[in-house]
Chains A and B, each alone.
Chain A
Amino acid sequence: MWDWGAFFHYLHNTYLLTGAGVTLALSLASLAIGLCCGTLAALMRMSRNPLLSKPAAFYIWLMRGTPVLVQLIIIYTGLPQLGIRLNVIESSLIGLGLNEGAYLAEIIRAGILAVPRGQFEAARSVGMTHAMTMRIIVLPQAMRIIIPPLGNTFNSLLKTTSLASVISMEELLRRTEVLIQVQFKVLEIFIVAALYYLVMTTIWGFIQERLEAHFSRSHAAPKDEAGAEAALQPNARIEKVLLSHDAQ
C-alpha cells in the first residue's frame, strides 16, 4: 500500500536532503575537475606535438571506453593492491572528475574547431600570444558551441554520481538505500529521491538556458542590414556541427 504520510514525511527528511546536497557538491566538484582535465586534454589533443596529443588521445579513449562504475571500483577497491589508498571522497572525485574530463575534452575540442581559422589569425595579427588568443578570442567563442552539450553532460553527471553509492559514497542514492533498510517504505522513499534528482536537473535546465542565451548574445541581436543575412550562413553550419556532435 502507498503511504502518503510516509511520503510527505520523507519529503523533508534532513538525512535525505543532506544526501542530495552531497550529490550536488559531488557533481559540481567533478564538473570543476572535469573542466580542468577536459580543457587541458582538448588543447593537448590538438597540439601538433605527438608527445602531447598521444597521451591526451589515450586518456580520452580509456575513459570513454570503460564504464564509470568499473573505473570507480578499480580506483577504490583495486588501487590499494598497488599501495595507493584513497578514501571514498577522493576516489569518487577522481573517478567522476577524470571520466567527465574525457567527455568534456571532446566537447571543448569540437567547440574550438568550430571557431573559424580567421579568428586565430586576426588575434595573432594584433599581437596576441597563443595563450591570449585562446583565452580572449577563441574560448569565449567556443563557449557558444560548448555550452549546450556541456549542460547535457552536467545533467547526466547529476545522475551518474549515484554510481558512487557502490563504493559507499554517502550521496543521495546511498542514503536512500540505507533509509529503506531501516524503514521499509521502499516506494515512498525512492520516489522522494527521484523527485530530488528531478528538482536538481530541472533547476539546472533553467540555468543552462540562461547560459546559452548569454553566450550567443552577439548572434541573437536583430539585423539592421539585408547584407548581414549572408553572414548568417557560417553560423548555420556551426549549429549543424553542434547538433551532429550532440547526437553522438
Chain B
Amino acid sequence: MYPKEIEKYLLKVQKPGRYVGGELGEVIKDKQDVDVRFAFCFPDTYEIGMSHLGIKILYSLFNEKPYIWCERVFAPWIDMEEQMRAHDIPLYALESGDPLTDFDFIGFTLQYELSYTNILNMLSLGGIPVLSKDRHDLNHIVVAGGPCACNPEPITDFIDIFFLGDGEEVDLEVIELYRDYKRAGKSKEEFLRAAAQISGVYVPALYDVTYHDDGTIAAITPMDGAPATIEKRAIMDMDSCYYPDNFVLPNIEIVHDRAVMEIFRGCIRGCRFCQAGFLYRPVREKSVDCIDRECHALCRNTGYDEVSLSSLSSSDYSQVVPMLKRLNAWAKPEKVSLSLPSLRVDGFTDDILDEIKSVRKSGLTFAPEAGSQRLRDAINKNVFEDELINTCRVAFEGGYTTVKLYFMIGLPTETMDDVAAIAELGRKVVDTYYSVENRPKGKSPRVTVSASSFVPKPFTPFQWEPQDTMPMLREKQQHIRQSITTKKITYNYHDSDTSFLEAVFARGDRKLNKAMLLAHQRGMRFDSWGDCFSLQNWLDVFEACGIDPAFYANRRRSFDEILPWDHLDYGVSKEFLKRECERAYASQTSPNCREACMNCGAKKYGGGVCFEKR
C-alpha cells in the first residue's frame, strides 16, 4: 500500500508501477502483531531488485516467522526521487507504505560495488542518519549481506552489521537476538557486542584498523571480545535449507520474470578471476527429489511457464540429465519450459539439448573469457577451442544462428596476441557456421563478441594483481576492433571507467568511507547506470579526500601485505590462493573439485563436493 499523498506525483514519473506494491504474493501483516519489522532494501531499481533470487528467498523466510514482518524497498529512480524530495515524502516500504524510520532493521543486499552510493541515498531518503555513529538507539539497525560483504571495508562507517556467507540461518539468529535485547531494554552497543559473537556476523565498529605511512594496513585489531577472524556461514544440507514455494509476482515487466529454482550453491571450477567461484565453496547440491518437489510447487503457485534452473554453472550439476528428465515429466504436459543459464561450453551435450530444446532459439551464450588457450590456462578457464567449436556446430545443426561470446580484457599475464585471439576465435565460430551442412537455410550467423574489463577481486588468486590502467584497457578494446575482419561479428565492449571505480571499491579499505560520504553529499547515486555515472565526479571526490584511486585499482600488492579483508574467512586459505596465483603465472591449469581436491580449505565445513567419491 503506497502512501496516498504520492498519487498526485506518480503520473509524473516513468513506470509508476515501481512504487505502488500491491502485487500478488506480497505479505501483509498487522504491525501490532509483530515484534520486528525488517525493511529489505535492494539498492537498485524495482525491475532489477525484483529479479534477484536472494531477496525472494529471505523475504519468504523472514515472513514465515509470525513475529517478523519483512517488506521490500527499492531505490527510486531519479525522477521519483526528485518528486519525493520536493514534496517531503520519505522512502517507504511497498507493503505498508511506512517510512524506513518505522523499521527495526534496514537490510541491504550488496550485489555490486557501484550500488554503494544508492545505499546512502536510500537511507537519507528514508530519514535515517547515514553514519552508524549517528544512530544511537536500539532500532534502525542497518545490516548488509551478499557477495560484496566479503570486503565491506569502504562502507563500514554506514553499516552496523555485515552477514558473511549464506544468510538463511545467521540473519534469523541476529533478528532473534535483537528481539530479546529489545525486550530487555538493552542498548545498541550491547546488542552489537552480543551479535558479534554469532558466527558469520561482522560488526565493523568492533575492529580498529591502523595503517603504515605508505597507506597499507599495519594491523586489524578486534575490540570488546569480538573474534579475530569472522567466518562465513555455509548451509551444508541444501535439501533441508529453506526455499520459497511462491514469489511476489510483479505487476510490471521486470528484468527476469520467471520462476527460478536454485539447484546448487558454489562452483567446482575455480576460474581464477571469478570471485563467486571461491566465495561460495564448497559445492553443495540439492537432490533431484528436492528440486523436483520444490520446482513443481513453485511453478504451480506462481503460474510461471518458464523456470530457470539456477546456479553458477548449471551443467555441472552432477545429475543434470536425470534432473531435466524428471522435471520434464510434468513440465512438458503443463507447458512449462526449462532453461539452464550459465551453461558451459562443454556442458552443451545432445542429451541436454533434447531436454531444453523447447525453450527458445534466441541464441546461445558462452563465456570463453580469453581468446587464446595460453591465457585460458592462466585463468583456469578450462574451455578448449575444439569444444567450443563442436558445441557451436551442434547448436547450428540444431537450428541456432546466434552465438554470443563473452571475453575479458586486462587479465593477468595478457599480451596483445592474447587480445587479438579474441577476434580470431569469433571468426572461427563464423567459419564453423558455414561448414555445417544442414545449417538453417538462407540465414547468416550472428556472432556477438563482448569484452568487459577485468576487475581483480578479494578472495581470488588475482587479489594481489593490479588492474590495467584505463589507457591500457582502451588500447586493448581498439586492438580487438582492428582485429575483426568479418561483418558477421558484432563487437561490444564495456566502458572501462566503471570497471575502474569497481576495482577501487572491490579492494578498498576503510579510508574510502570518507569518499563514499562525500560522493553521497554531492548527490551521486546510480553509479551502475550510464545515465548517472560520471568518473570525473568521482575523481573530484577522491581528490577532495586526498585519496589516490590508483593505490586501490592499479597497484600490485605483495603476498605478505595485510589485505583489508584479511580478518574475514570465506573458507579458502590465503596459501591456496597464492599457490593458484603462481600456477597462473606458469599458465598452468588446476583440476576442478570433482577431478582432484586442491585443498583450498573449504573442506573444513564438513560436506559438499569435498566429500564426494572421486
Physical interaction between A and B: no
B interface residues, Cβ below 8 angstroms from A: none
Chain A interface (Cβ within 8 Å of chain B)?
Answer: none
